[in-house]
Structure formats: structure tokens, C-alpha cells
Amino acid sequence: EEEGEEKVRGSVAACDFYNAGGLMSLSDEDICRVLTEELLPSAVPKFADAKLVDSWVGRYPGTVSWFSPGSYDRRPPLEGAGNDVLPNVKCAGDWVRMGEREHGAKGLCQERAYVSGMEAANSLMESTRGAGEGAVFRKAQVLPTREDEAQFKLGVEVNNQVMKYLPRFWVR
């Protein structure tokens, strides 16, 4: 920053849209305008005060997750084939089963993908460099999520009770 120049302050938006065929005709500016002027402020009113200084928009038509309710057991584990088989191969992404390293971000989301990447890196370093006191790496710290709120827990319980009686035709 040069002397006399004012420091730019504002917000940055990064958004990606999957199965986005309906958005292909919109410009990045139009999408950012709808996000910053309509959608985000309707969720959190303070967003109406945000000044957008930079943005990135990704549109991915025809792309959707192949995972469905009930598919968790068929997802690849973070440890890949296992530390005793291939210690230098790990899996990361929102779709992996993290085993003992499981995190509170349970859905298919960027947060879970990020955390699984950190945990895969930790596992890789532990399996190839060792995890003892003499380890020559600093383990990435993963912060725990807060406990679910009471109304969410209630909703999960109600859903579980209802699903006992409905056929699960959508589960593969």
C-alpha cells in the first residue's frame, strides 16, 4: 500500500453451482448481484451492508453427486487400502469415511472436504514419518464442531422415527 492510498476494504464471494444448467446464461455479475442483494441478506440481514470487492463464480452443468442416502458404507475410507497395505495412499474429499478422524461436518460439503484433506495429510505424515515425540512435522489442527442444537436433534429423531415406517426406495 502506497502512502496516501486508501486501503480497500470489502468482501470476497466465491460460489460454485452444481447441476447449474439454469445459470449458464447469467453473467458472473448477475449471479453476484442476486447473491449479495437478495439471497445472502435474506438469510443474514447484515450481508446487505457488504461491499463486494472480488468474486469467483463456477458453474458446472450436469454435475451432481453420485452419493445417495444410505451409501455411506460404500464410500472409500480416508486410509485408502490401509496403512499396512499402502501407507502412502490416502483419500480426501467430502465423500470419504474418516473413521476415527470423523468430524462434525457430516454432509457432502466443502468444509468436510477441507477437513478430510487436513486429516489425510496428518495420516500420510504419521504413516510415513512417524507420529511419536520425535516426529518431524507439525500435525494440522482440526477444530471440533459445536454440538448440534436441540431443535436439530429433535428433527433428526423425528425423521428417524418416520423413516422406520416408510420404504426407502431411493437407497441403492
pLDDT in tens, 120-141: 999 988 888 765 566 677 888 8
Categorize the per-residue pLDDT at 170 as very low, low, confident or very high, splitting at 50, 70 and 90: low
**What's the half-sphere exposure (Cβ side, CA atoms, 13 Å) at 137?**
14
pTM of the model as a whole: 0.56
- Whether residue 123 contacts residue 81, with contact meaning beta carbons closer than 8 Å, is answered with no
**How far is it, in rounded angstroms, from Cα 38 to Cα 45?**
10
Q: Where are the domains of the chain?
A: 11-60, 72-163
Cell of 55: 468474486
pLDDT tens per residue across span 16-38: 887 888 888 999 999 999 988 99
**How far is it, in rounded angstroms, from Cα 96 to Cα 74?**
9
